[in-house]
Structure 1
Amino acid sequence: MAGGTGVNTVKRRVALLESMCSMSDDYAEDDQKVKFEMIPDKFHSLKDVSDAIKNVGVKECSLIFGIDYTMSNQMQGKKTYDGLSLHDIQPSRSNPYQEVICILGETLEPFDDDGIIPAYGFGDRTVKDKSVFPIKKNGDCDGFMEVLKQYTDVTPTIKLGGPTNFAPIIRQAVDIVKEKRQYHILVIVADGQVTNEEETIKAIVEASEFPLSIVVIGVGDGPWDMMKDFDDNLPERKFDNFQFVGFHQAKQGVRNPDVAVALAALMEIPDQYMCIKKLRLMEKLL
């Protein structure tokens, strides 16, 4: 990974973000005047992006985890997880979901003001593609280590189902944002393509009306064409609120795979938060 570029470089990048997300003076009367732009990847180190997150003013932030329990998890580890189910729980090794929870939890927890993390499963045989369920029966998790523990304990009891639809977990996250009136980052860990594309697109577009960043970490073999399309297109959105990271691809050929995944996951957060501020999305919740 490249080293940090210094405080001046970070400040210049923050100024660029403000320019990218700039609005007209009469925006409040006509929010359609803001043109959608894809947010490019521009940071080269975890320190760079972490400094930029602080410099754009992220003071209060909360995390939400979504875990994909669809049947395809049984087959999606053929190339990337020794042919095992991606939800295979063993005491001697971490599965991809456990790895992502640790990497993203440890990276994002310092930005979480209260440490309370709502964590949900979706796509199992019970809720299918219609709803979500909390992985902790009695409430939200206290820190990412409890997310990891609850995931590890509950997963062997869950019957995988489907089809795959991100809309329920995205809408659950929007409901939390409206209730808490605070910026949130939704981390969805999923194994493959979305079955209900139309409903998922609708939910992503609707979510761009709120102070919510969506980070999808793709575990397993892919393909990931649809995820990349969600990331780079959908111009109906108020801002580019969706970042996709191919977990195994991000880890390949780098000195520190965990840092590479964390960097890719955070890459668009500074830009997204600047756009949220310029669009006054948090003010609309008050």
Structure 2
Amino acid sequence: MSLSSEDSCYLHVQRLSKKPSLFLQFVADRADSSLGASDVDLDDIGLDYGSLEDYEKHLHVIVDRFKSLGEVTSALKRLKVEPCGLIFGIDYTLSNKVSGMNTFHGLSLHDTTSKKTNPYQEVICILGETLEPLDDDGIIPAYGFGDRIVKDKGIFPLKANGDCDGFMEVLEVYNVVTPKIQLGGPTNFAPLIDEAVRIVKEKKQYHILVIVADGQVTNEEDTVRAIIEASEYPLSIVVIGVGDGPWDVMNDFDDKLPERRFDNFQFVDFHKVKSEARNPQPAVALAALMEIPDQFQYIRDNGLVERL
């Protein structure tokens, strides 16, 4: 079986017996025919399936066949995942100074003095090029968290006098303010997620919250509370993990939390995806957006925007 540049791969979970099984089907984006299908039991590939609800997902997997991020954006538009609003959050905790020991040449992950593009700058550029065409007004609220002033109790706007006009301004503002920020901690996503929910309620529109962070959250209880509460709203949360990790809690947020109304959280290990991909930038974008179509479909089918 071979796939052309127009083909897609869909992953379903179906209950074929008393426990869930994976159903892998290759189909054509042109919707002309199915290329083939095969069933794979979760046990056969070593997955801990847990409850069916944990794995009942429909993932649009766009493999290496894409030549540019623009083609990825076109695929997302064909899936009707627009218009939407975007929100960006950046981790300024002290651990950023040492979390690049293995993955960023021992430099601070927020280093802006060397000629190397730091991981935060990379993520802003990659996701900006992919996501910005989906944003209907181009206005992006961008926040920092975890610095010495707000610690784990709040957030601060990256731009002092308003929201950013597009991802290029997010990058420009990041480059200006980052050298002036005193890193702090601990790490708590809750204030940022709560602010994203507030924006969603105010705008009455689907949003994607992108959080770029360097490690585990310190205040897990508050963050879990915020993620669960956010699942009642038309909001997708994408966390891009930069640096050395560890990432076990992030993976738990991604795969567990059954109290959520829907699976609203996607985690991406930035350096792992980059190191394993033939084309790193599209691979990172795809990993970040992998669950957006399903999340958007659930939100639309269940009227979460209309309930605001």
Scaled by the length of structure 1, what TM-score is found?
A: 0.86
After superposition, residues 68-79 of structure 1 pair within 5 angstroms as 68-79=91-102
Q: What's 1:27 paired with?
A: none
Q: What's 1:166 paired with?
A: 189
- Paired residue type of 2:270: F
Cα distance in 2 for partners of 1:268, 1:49 equals 14
Find the partner of 2:301 among 275, 278, 282. Answer: 278
Name the structure where helix makes up a greater proportion of residues.
1
Find the partner of 2:234 among 207, 211, 236. Answer: 211
Pairwise CA distance, 1:41: 4.3
Q: What's 2:5 paired with?
A: 4
Find the partner of 1:268 among 276, 282, 291. Answer: 291
Asked if 2 retains the 8 angstrom alpha-carbon contact of 1:69 and 1:160, the reply is yes
Deviates more, 1:241-250 or 1:55-64: 55-64
Q: What's 1:23 paired with?
A: none
How many equivalent pairs are there?
A: 262
Instruction: Specify whether residues 3 and 198 from structure 1 end up closer, same or farther in structure 2 by C-alpha distance, changes over 3 A only.
Output: farther
Moved over 2 A (4+): 2-12, 35-42, 44-59
Pairwise CA distance, 1:99: 0.5
Specify the SS of the correspondent of 2:276.
Answer: coil
Q: What's 1:123 paired with?
A: 146
Asked if 1 retains the 8 angstrom alpha-carbon contact of 2:73 and 2:133, the reply is no
Matched, 1:156 2:157: no
Name the structure where strand makes up a greater proportion of residues.
2
Pairwise CA distance, 1:255: 2.2
Deviates more, 1:274-283 or 1:184-193: 274-283
Specify the SS of the correspondent of 1:120.
Answer: strand
Q: What's 1:39 paired with?
A: 57
- Paired residue type of 1:9: A
Cα distance in 1 for partners of 2:271, 2:223 equals 24
Q: Which deviations, in whole Å up to 9, do the C-alpha atoms of 1:56-84 show, x marking residues without a partner?
A: 43332111100000011011000001111
Specify the SS of the correspondent of 2:149.
Answer: coil
Specify the SS of the correspondent of 2:232.
Answer: coil
Specify the SS of the correspondent of 1:64.
Answer: strand
Deviates more, 1:202-211 or 1:54-63: 54-63
Specify the SS of the correspondent of 2:238.
Answer: strand
Matched, 1:59 2:82: yes
Deviates more, 1:172-181 or 1:51-60: 51-60
The unaligned stretches of length 5 or more in structure 2 are 9-26, 32-52
- Paired residue type of 2:187: T
Pairwise CA distance, 1:36: 6.6
After superposition, residues 190-205 of structure 1 pair within 5 angstroms as 190-205=213-228
Specify the SS of the correspondent of 2:307.
Answer: helix
Specify the SS of the correspondent of 1:82.
Answer: coil
Asked if 1 retains the 8 angstrom alpha-carbon contact of 2:58 and 2:294, the reply is no
- Paired residue type of 1:141: C
Q: What's 2:168 paired with?
A: 145
Asked if 2 retains the 8 angstrom alpha-carbon contact of 1:3 and 1:44, the reply is no
Cα RMSD (Å)? 2.0
Higher RCO (C-alpha under 8 Å, 6+ residues apart):
1
Specify the SS of the correspondent of 1:189.
Answer: strand
Specify the SS of the correspondent of 1:284.
Answer: coil
- Paired residue type of 2:266: Q
Cα distance in 1 for partners of 2:233, 2:142 equals 19
Cα distance in 2 for partners of 1:144, 1:265 equals 16
Asked if 1 retains the 8 angstrom alpha-carbon contact of 2:81 and 2:296, the reply is yes
